[in-house]
Chain A
Amino acid sequence: MSQAGAMVNSPIAGPKLKVQHLGVVYERDGKSTPVLEDLNLDVSEGEFICVVGPSGCGKSTMLNAMGGFLAPTSGSVNIDGEVVTGPDRRRILVFQERGVFPWLTVEGNIGFGLSKLSRTERKERIAHYVQLVRLQGFENTYPSDLSGGMKQRLQVARALAVNPDILFLDEPFGALDSITRVIMRGELLRIWQTEKRTVIFVTHDIDEAVQLADRVVVLSSRPARIQDILTIDIAHPRNISSPRYLAIRDELLKQIGLAYEI
């Protein structure tokens, strides 16, 4: 990929993404509900960050604020030293499900953000990402004829096609069955290793976080604060029955306040 070359080893000092004292308060019916409180986080270029926390704690809110879809009540999000003020095609948000456009084919979806490219460039780019997410043969298929896993791969391809530096993924595999989910994690890691993007991945699945992330951000229950940040110092491919893996997993479970036994 020629266009990917620009972001490998870019000499930017400091973090790719910097979250400073981020706070979000929802106002509804005259009541104000604090959702996020004083979040601070530095993410470096090419890092894979997972965000976990109890359900409803504000993980998605955090992602929306980082992506520019939601204006923070206090604090700020900086990307490459610039304050985030709105959504931008340099950072794409991938949704849990139903994020692909059902009125467009696989090709149409991947090419959605590429209308400024010339016809041939566009075709090449689409072909590249069709191949990357292994949807060859489905170029002219509509999403209603794709499985859940294929739709999510399509959504990731559509996001990557516009060549963003950051991918925000909001529980992208949450609606998939458990077998597909495991396969999709492998696919995502493979794509991340070839494409070298910064990834912020929200999940409620502890195993998913430990299998994927360089670092795991643990949020507390609402109003969410950063409870802990765990570094996963296991090289890929990760052996999910190794003692180190299990130790980190147990540590995370304990952080979230879950018992070891059911």
Chain B
Amino acid sequence: MSTLTKPRLWERFFWPVLAAALLFAVWHYSVVWTGTKVFPSPQNVRNGMAELFRKHVLWADIGDSLRRVAIGYLSAVIVGIPLGLSLGWFPAANQVVNPLLQFLRPISPIAWIPVAIIFFGIGDPAAVFLVFLGAFFPIVVACASSVSNVPMLYRSAGRNFGLSNIQILTRVVFPASLPQILVGLRIALGIAWLVIVAGEMIAVDSGLGYLVIDSRNSGKRYDLVVAAMLLIGVIGLVLDISFRKLEKIKSVRWGFRNAA
């Protein structure tokens, strides 16, 4: 394939499908040749998947996971964006808060699970809180840094045209930092999806994370474990692809081009 010409339509689908088929083949034959009794083959997983769909709890699990992610993520967006923008806008405030943020940020949300359970008990609020924590820090940091990265030129131009401080924030700084904010939001959504699976293994008794750990605990059903893992991957991919559509919006597209 030449890197200069755009790949043809069939090529764009053919090669990824081939790579996936190869992976499945390696998986299948590894199971056959090693004669493992524990790890499922692709056929086992397919049967497991079919069983999950038949049992109907699957849809409830998916719904629960998505709901927790939605609530936790949206709360992080609602709190994180204004906070991040203010920190970028007021460097003095940033100097006070930033060390604290940088200290809390590397603590994995998984480490918060015991604390979340003390705060909220076993149940939805604990899982939502973990998602919130996972999404909150990347959003705040992305917003703060994107605002402080807005070229001075744009602010000067805004002042030159007689804009008030609020107008400069809403008409210049916010649109100028939006592409970078979107990147932060997308990373945060990915983290939220990672965190919910881990959180559901401990803090609640439903959802895809619970499905994974429950399938293992009740009868070592590794076919169901792997089937649930695949579903988690597919849903994560769909979330990411949907989010990427936002980057195509014309008023932010300039920020995603190599040339811009």
Contact = CB atoms under 8 A, between A and B. Distances in A.
Nearest to B151: A98
Interface residues of A, number: 21
Contacts of B259: 144
B161 A103 contact: no
Nearest to B178: A103
Interface of B is mostly: helix
A95 B153 CA distance: 8
A93 interface: yes
Nearest to A97: B153
Nearest to A86: B159
B161 A113 contact: yes
Nearest to A159: B160
A142 interface: yes
A93 B175 CA distance: 21
Interface stretch (B204-212, B226-234, B248-256): B248-256
Given A89-B160, A93-B156, 13 more contacts: A87-B159, A87-B160, A89-B162, A92-B161, A93-B160, A101-B176, A102-B260, A103-B178, A103-B251, A103-B252, A142-B251, A143-B254, A144-B253
B156 A142 contact: no
A86 to B, nearest CB: 8
Given A103-B178, A144-B259, A113 B162 contact: yes
7 contacts: A95-B157, A101-B175, A103-B178, A104-B251, A112-B161, A142-B254, A143-B254
B172 to A, nearest CB: 7
A52 to B, nearest CB: 23
Nearest to A144: B254
Nearest to B154: A101
A88 interface: yes
A67 interface: yes
A138 B171 CA distance: 22
A144 B154 contact: no
Contacts of A104: 175, 251
Contacts of B250: 142
Residue among B154, B161, B172, B254 facing the most chain A CB atoms (10 A cut-off): B161
A162 B153 CA distance: 18
Contact of A88 (B154, B162, B257): B162
Contacts of B153: 95, 98-99
Ranked 9 nearest A-B pairs via Cβ: A113-B161, A102-B254, A103-B175, A89-B162, A144-B254, A87-B160, A87-B159, A103-B251, A144-B260
A262 to B, nearest CB: 34
Nearest to B179: A103
Residue among A87, A142, A143 facing the most chain B CB atoms (10 A cut-off): A87
B156 A87 contact: yes
